[in-house]
Chain A
Amino acid sequence: MMKGLLFTLESFIAILMIFFIIILLFQNPPASSEFNRINYKLKAYNGLMALEKTGELRKDAVNNNAISIQNKLNPYLPDFLNYTVVIFNETTNITAKPSLSLTNDSISVSYFLAGDVDDFKPREIRVYLWGY
Chain B
Amino acid sequence: MGILMKNKGQMFIIVAVIMIVVLVILKTGVNLPDIMQKNRESEGKFEHDFFVNVVDELTKTIDVSYYQPINITNNVYSFANFTRKKMTEHLQDFQFLYVSCITPKSSGSDTMNVSVITMLNKPINATLRISTSLVQSGNNDNMMDMSIWNTNFTITQGNNYILTVGYNGTYSENITIQTKTNGSVYVGFFDTTLIGSETTYKDKFQKNYTLP
Contact = CB atoms under 8 A, between A and B. Distances in A.
B122 interface: no
Contacts of A124: 82, 86
B-side interface mostly: helix
A7 B31 contact: no
B61 A10 contact: no
A116 B64 contact: yes
Interface string A32-63: 10110011011001000100000000000000
B45 interface: yes
Interface residues of B, number: 45
A17 B23 CA distance: 12
B39 A112 contact: no
Interface stretch (A18-26, A67-75, A77-85): A18-26
Instruction: Select the residue from B19, B38, B64, B78 with max chain A CB neighbours within 10 A.
Output: B64
B35 A117 contact: no
Interface of B: 8-10, 12-13, 15-17, 19-20, 23-24, 27-28, 31, 34-35, 38-39, 42-43, 45-46, 49-50, 53-54, 57-58, 60-61, 63-68, 71, 75, 78-79, 82-83, 86, 90
